Chain A
């Protein structure tokens, strides 16, 4: 027995040592950029064309390891509990609904990227520049055009109309990011948002645990019986690109006047040993190479005015000029109160 055991033990130890050395950049090396590998901490939805990060490496000599951590909420929580000894060098994907929590935990080093010149001011939510806006997405009610026997809703207020009784599925704001964003939309839009949700409940709104569950379980797209769903402004182009059989125009439409805007930020994580390389990556995220690659991969919109949208986005999305927004500090300070209130009204 002992021989097998000690052999296996040796293998485990060896693996652990190798793994440890992989996971741990050489922190004593001088912070010259070329040859440096930095780690980008992001959420599960992060994806780019292969060529994009290769272009960054070609430009700067910096290699990027991508570390994904579940949804945005999980990513922020992970970073908050490991504050001071960060999981990587740069974070991408913290949005305005979680931003304040990241700022409160002092996760980021301030950095003013030169690329900000091309970014409209409305996206810059942190005056201290601890985070840099990279992209945005609008959480909107989507409808399946053919499943509606009446004119589509145009405003949040329409959803309480009996025409849309038992038609809408939303995500639980306690467990879903778009669900929470939609709650924020109603809070921004209505002074008596509680009354609004009471009406929605009376009108038969259904609550699903998460987006996948709502979109593919209850919404028409997955064979469900609800023609209205809380999704994104960018969902229709996805329905075109990934349609089967192929279609020219999206089967879904967007109620674009009542969208809550989620802005995704990137920031240099405090404690990085490669600040120069990390800053270079932030800069790169605002260049057209990165910005143009974002829509088709992550179905979000670039913030840079220099970016060009793919045709399928141009054809199928109209980005609202007047999105609903809320200050991140307000969101963070009221989150528990609002979701608890929502639960009482909707779930009883």
Chain B
């Protein structure tokens, strides 16, 4: 039984990633490059425009990552210091931006720029790289706060107390004691933020202005607008290689000096008042303002305010094949399936990453993170030309949608769970073994329950990613009778008329609420297993 269990732990995630990602992507790339492979690649690097795009893609993603980490770390500290109940609440709330379609957020930002005169003049933000970075901070804030905050909460803070007693001030203590121990979580979060920004699509197009292009937007341009699959495939190869380099680097950082956390014995500290309110004000400014704009727009009707945009969501309008709320229902069903799949695959894969043989562990780590850094076009088209024959003719099946969502959700689960698993004091596993637990049983009794802290955080992300339909599914055909909320939102928004726009905004607000609630529920699931942590 234990052998079979161990085999399944490896085979299930491996099969998932090979069938739904690796093989389709390899297939579409080899099809695209067929006959023209090296020449196409060489042309790409010869073009100064494309070289510029590759460089811009990398540096904007790096800058977005650095800024997001710096901006979000204080909030992660705050989250770590809160009681478990409050922590859960904050973690749920910061997830909200994840579900917001970029066209909606882009609109909100542009509205803000215009209102505060930032659309022209010296302090122009509109159509600048700053607008891109700002939006990336907005979308990715949650990644850092949730991943680092949860990990931080599990650290033994006696070390900090000791450092303070030895005369280190607050900042010295943070820089020399806390920061090095947070590194696994920070590099995990940074890897996700980088990949997110690296493959960002809507933000670049909408907020960056028409001059900005990244590898991701260019893949779309060549594959869809121009129908030039060869160039698109060469760009996709470049993207894949860049992502592989990044993930290898991040993995190395995460692994170096893995610091085992002893049993956490931390009194929940009440954060200082200035610290607390300063942080809340800052977070509200960053996340709250665009969201506030959306809420305001959803409530504004005619010349006043009312809830009529919300009540309209229960009726079918001509633009949608079903009432908007039914679309929210479809999204929920998909998200539940996608989250379950992502938690299962990601959970098993994390065990392999942490406990598997070195080579296997590296491959899993890399392979399961790649979908996050791969163009939606590549994945979508790959699935389209690969899973097109029985027994796996899934390209038009509804199940393909949640599976593709799970593909993007798995990296979140792996990236949040692995640092937690690595942080488990190995003597806990040894104690269990000496008490008679087989290796498989040790995984079940020790790794899984304790790793659940990371698992639920990752699953929360997977849920939000699915509800917001980030990447992967944009280029898959879908059945009109299972229209999802983001697609419904786009349709409302692509019709002129104030009521359509109002309803689209109301739908966005409903999506935000549903996600905050669902993430809170998912995260409370671990309350029962958490015990003394």
Contact surface of A with B, Cβ cutoff 8 Å: 1-2, 5-6, 8-9, 12, 15-20, 22-24, 39, 41, 44-47, 49, 65-70, 73-78, 80-82, 85, 87-88, 101, 172, 174-175, 180, 207-213, 215-218, 221-225, 231, 235-236, 238-245, 252, 296-297, 299, 335-336, 339, 346-348
Contact = CB atoms under 8 A, between A and B. Distances in A.
B495 interface: yes
B474 A70 contact: yes
Contacts of A225: 114
A1 B478 contact: no
Given A19-B394, A66-B479, A77-B224, A1 B210 contact: no
Given A66-B481, A215-B496, A244 B301 contact: yes
A235 B1 CA distance: 65
A209 B227 CA distance: 19
A172 to B, nearest CB: 5
Given A1-B8, A175-B220, A242-B499, 4 more contacts: A66-B321, A70-B474, A87-B395, A242-B500
Contacts of B226: 335-336, 339
The list of the 8 closest CB pairs from A to B, nearest first, reads: A242-B497, A2-B5, A66-B480, A19-B399, A23-B397, A19-B397, A209-B205, A207-B210
Interface stretch (B36-44, B102-110, B323-331): B102-110
Contact of B210 (A15, A209, A240, A245): A209
A88 B4 contact: no
Contact of A212 (B303, B321, B477, B494): B494
A74 B448 CA distance: 42
Q: Interface residues of A: mostly helix, strand, loop or mixed?
A: helix
B474 A68 contact: no
B493 to A, nearest CB: 5
Contacts of A172: 205, 210
Given A9-B8, A77-B224, A81-B385, A20 B393 contact: yes
B9 A5 contact: yes
A244 B493 contact: no
Nearest to B505: A216
A98 B127 CA distance: 29
Given A73-B224, A172-B210, A209-B205, A68 B394 contact: no
11 contacts: A1-B448, A2-B4, A8-B344, A18-B399, A19-B399, A45-B494, A77-B223, A88-B396, A238-B496, A244-B499, A244-B502
B394 A45 contact: no
A5 B348 contact: yes
B97 to A, nearest CB: 19
B221 A175 contact: yes
Given A20-B390, A80-B227, A174-B225, A213 B477 contact: no
A236 B496 CA distance: 8
Contact of B388 (A73, A82, A235, A252): A82
Given A19-B398, A210-B103, A1 B495 contact: no
Interface string B213-245: 000010011011111110000000000000000
Nearest to A104: B227
Listed residue (A85, A175, A180, A231) with the most chain B CB atoms within 10 angstroms of its CB: A175
A41 B480 CA distance: 10
A9 B394 CA distance: 17
B384 A82 contact: yes
Given A85-B389, A87-B477, A174-B225, A2 B8 contact: yes
B321 A23 contact: no
A239 B496 contact: yes
A15 B336 CA distance: 14
A73 B381 contact: no
B390 A19 contact: no
Contact of A347 (B4, B210, B496): B210
B367 interface: no
Nearest to B222: A336
B174 interface: no
Given A6-B8, A16-B394, A66-B481, A241 B497 contact: yes
B501 A235 contact: no
Contact of B394 (A20, A209, A244): A20
B211 A347 contact: yes
B164 interface: no
B490 interface: yes
A179 B250 CA distance: 41
B431 interface: no
A67 B479 contact: yes
B480 A68 contact: yes
A49 B384 contact: no
A344 B109 CA distance: 27
